[in-house]
Amino acid sequence: MAATLQKILLAPDTQPMVIADCFMLIEQEVSDMSGVSGTAVKLAYKTVNTFMPGHVRYLVGSLLPQMVHKLEPYWADFSTSGGSEFGDYLAKRGEEVSEALLSVTDARAAASGRPTVVKAYGTVRGSAVKHIEATLPHVGGLVLKYAA
């Protein structure tokens, strides 16, 4: 596990598969959401997909390098600590990791010239940390799929 996440996940032959897996993870996580905040996320997701088909998949691809960069210090620490489940490692640092990942999407949303995207993102940002935290075990599993 000595290789960096950037070398593992962003390799030309691997990156398209990672993007596809990330997109599938997002689709599944949104589908599984419930409650008031889940309904808000589903509505925002549907809005973006309706007005900009393919935009979520595009964003996954364009944000992946920055997301991997944010995960890199956690991966380095995990690799040296001898852990076996990266998802568990991330989950134990849930809020910290979630905020690190969300800093990427916060910057992207702030720079967006698309009012629909900005509005949809603003609607769900308040509850985003808890949703990202809940997903971290799956994110770790996805990373290990390629890093193991």
pTM: 0.86
Q: pLDDT tens across 32-89, in order?
A: 988 887 888 888 889 888 988 998 899 999 999 999 999 999 999 999 988 889 999 9
Print the SS3 string covering the chain. CCCCHHHHHCCCCCHHHHHHHHHHHHHHHHHHCCHHHHHHHHHHHHHHHHHCCCHHHHHHHHHHHHHHHHHHHHHHHHHHHCCCCHHHHHHHCHHHHHHHHHHHHHHHHHHCCCHHHHHHHHHHHHHHHHHHHHHHHHHHHHHHHHHC
- Arithmetic mean of pLDDT, 99-103: 96
- Per-residue model confidence (pLDDT) at position 2: 59
Full domain range(s) for residue 18: 5-147
**Number of domains forming the structure of the chain:** 1
